Structure 1
């Protein structure tokens, strides 16, 4: 009878794990998606992933795509891709120390909450799958886990995962170093809103400078999400009611590949204060390659520092460059 119960238990665990068609996500550079898992008791679902970084460093974990405490509920493939790209940036190994410092400040300001809950948080700061039986043999660990989630931390759960230390199938937890409360810069679009943006921008691929296939185009925020703060993100109601003027001002269309490329160069700009330029053409229609010293790196005001960069508004950059070339030719002919 005991063996039968174990068999049914393992079978139930397997049924909650669904293999993913890897070709769907193969265009995501340095991101490998393995499977989707459902944690039905917590009403959470995750994508099991491997993130690959420089020098052969990898992170194997789970990214929640349904996580009610942060309002995350993603089903559209393009939305999930965008979310994974942002999660990839937040999980960068060189970002973890700064993230931990922020959390220590949180615990310091909330000592009453830290007294009984922080011990589980500390056990999870390896950012690896952690066996509860081995690392936190506390009968109240589930309550502590719920408290951490209520505080805004993102924690994925893996039921009946094999442990290399105790050699049992136990509950494992992993702390995902996303901003507390979720990715605040992320705006979740419905398929209808996405279609409206693409239609309003007439299916024009700004990177190629011509009309593209609607199914291959992605609405891109001109102002990169890496520079957003908590006050930059629109409310869901505002996203669902974007005006044509807002769409034209805030968005441009490009393929997912070019969107990833832009995301990477904007991340580098954020880190080194050197503004990038597309096609190897070092031209800015305003400013130069240095990020302005008098403009903050984050928040809505930071958008002023992006103006003039080709990646920020590629069509305006192209038109300004063509105008410069036309003036040069005209002067040469005089």
Structure 2
């Protein structure tokens, strides 16, 4: 993957990544210090912590995060973290302590499987407690396999961008996620192809960049009509495509396109909501409801024929 050098001591990937089975968004970064080089990841979107940064906000925090993640701060960060745990014999704490290196740790040969061979539930618990943990498949220099790796990002508690914090995004059970994918036919809407369950992400049609109040509840028995109205299915890659367009639109008021086609079945490229949080301003944009956008596009073409 292409790299971008922001400063002589800061290098970042050109693309974000989404850890498997999550909605979180990270970017791999490389921070060079006098004593060592840290090859880690920084968060852009964290569902459990209510963090939701635009591209510009992410970039503006790079220097600050560089200072916060200096190796000299690691010991104090761990001491502060440990002070929050009354029971250091718990399974969740043991997984946390196994990640105290602050580096990518392999789930096959690293310290995590030594304390818990199936740590997914414990990692979720840690995220709920405010810890920032990125996960990604990487080639392991020790066991030689391409395995899932986890990294504990030793940043302070994050102040949510929204007043309501993570209350804005209501919980969604795995049962409901599976049901949504089934209702929507396991079809990735951008390329109109059926994909496996693990390759699909449940996307809110109305982008969270424009939320200013909590979303409606996501009950397991949500009606089919509400599922179709509220969600669409994307892949990691197409979800990032939409996210970038929505970030840009929120900042500039210019809506995105679909593979270069600047066509909108309602309005034009100028976002036209009554306020910055008006969902009506998204109607007509391909990213808002791509299946409907494509149907309207074909309908318009037929009328001209």
Could you say which TM-score interval applies, normalised by the shorter chain? 0.5 to 0.7
Alignment root-mean-square deviation, CA? 4.7
User: Counterpart in 1 of 2:150?
Assistant: none
Unaligned 5+ residue runs, structure 1? Answer: 1-26, 34-46, 74-82, 98-122, 147-155, 162-171, 330-334
Against the structure 1 CA distance between its residues 174 and 254, is the aligned structure 2 distance closer, same or farther, given a 3 Å change threshold? Answer: closer
1:99-146 C-alpha deviation (Å, 9 max, x unpaired): xxxxxxxxxxxxxxxxxxxxxxxx99954458569999xx9x789999
Aligned mate of 1:249, from 203, 218, 229: 229
User: Counterpart in 1 of 2:15?
Assistant: 29
Against the structure 1 CA distance between its residues 289 and 28, is the aligned structure 2 distance closer, same or farther, given a 3 Å change threshold? Answer: same
User: Counterpart in 1 of 2:58?
Assistant: 92
1:224-270 C-alpha deviation (Å, 9 max, x unpaired): 111112x23234xx343422111010111122211111111111111
User: Counterpart in 2 of 1:37?
Assistant: none
Report the secondary structure of 1:279's partner residue: coil
User: Counterpart in 2 of 1:240?
Assistant: 220
Asked if structure 1 preserves the Cα contact closer than 8 Å seen for 2:264 and 2:284, the reply is yes
CA distance in 1, matches of 2:199, 2:40: 29
Greater share of residues in helix: 1
User: Counterpart in 2 of 1:295?
Assistant: 274
CA distance in 2, matches of 1:279, 1:124: 34
1:157-189 C-alpha deviation (Å, 9 max, x unpaired): 98688xxxxxxxxxx963354416754444443
Whether 1:311 aligns to 2:299 is no
How far residue 204 of structure 1 moved from its aligned partner, in angstroms, is 2.6
Question: TM-score, normalization: structure 1?
Answer: 0.51
Asked if structure 1 preserves the Cα contact closer than 8 Å seen for 2:17 and 2:236, the reply is no
User: Counterpart in 1 of 2:10?
Assistant: none
Asked if structure 2 preserves the Cα contact closer than 8 Å seen for 1:285 and 1:309, the reply is yes
Report the secondary structure of 1:246's partner residue: helix
Asked if structure 2 preserves the Cα contact closer than 8 Å seen for 1:286 and 1:308, the reply is yes
Asked if structure 2 preserves the Cα contact closer than 8 Å seen for 1:187 and 1:239, the reply is no
Question: Which 10-residue stretch deviates more, 309-318 or 186-195?
Answer: 186-195
Asked if structure 1 preserves the Cα contact closer than 8 Å seen for 2:186 and 2:233, the reply is yes
Against the structure 1 CA distance between its residues 126 and 185, is the aligned structure 2 distance closer, same or farther, given a 3 Å change threshold? Answer: farther
User: Counterpart in 2 of 1:203?
Assistant: 186
Against the structure 1 CA distance between its residues 311 and 61, is the aligned structure 2 distance closer, same or farther, given a 3 Å change threshold? Answer: closer
Q: Please show how residues 86-125 of structure 1 align to structure 2 within 5 Å.
A: 86=52, 92-94=58-60
Q: Please show how residues 1-334 of structure 1 align to structure 2 within 5 Å.
A: 29-31=15-17, 51-52=28-29, 72=48, 86=52, 92-94=58-60, 126-129=67-70, 131=72, 174-175=155-156, 177-179=158-160, 182-229=165-212, 231-235=213-217, 238-292=218-272, 295-298=274-277, 302-329=278-305
Higher Cα Rg: structure 1 or 2?
Answer: 1
Report the secondary structure of 2:202's partner residue: strand
Against the structure 1 CA distance between its residues 203 and 134, is the aligned structure 2 distance closer, same or farther, given a 3 Å change threshold? Answer: closer
Report the secondary structure of 2:259's partner residue: helix
Question: TM-score, normalization: structure 2?
Answer: 0.55
Structure of greater relative contact order (alpha carbons < 8 Å, 6+ residues apart): 2
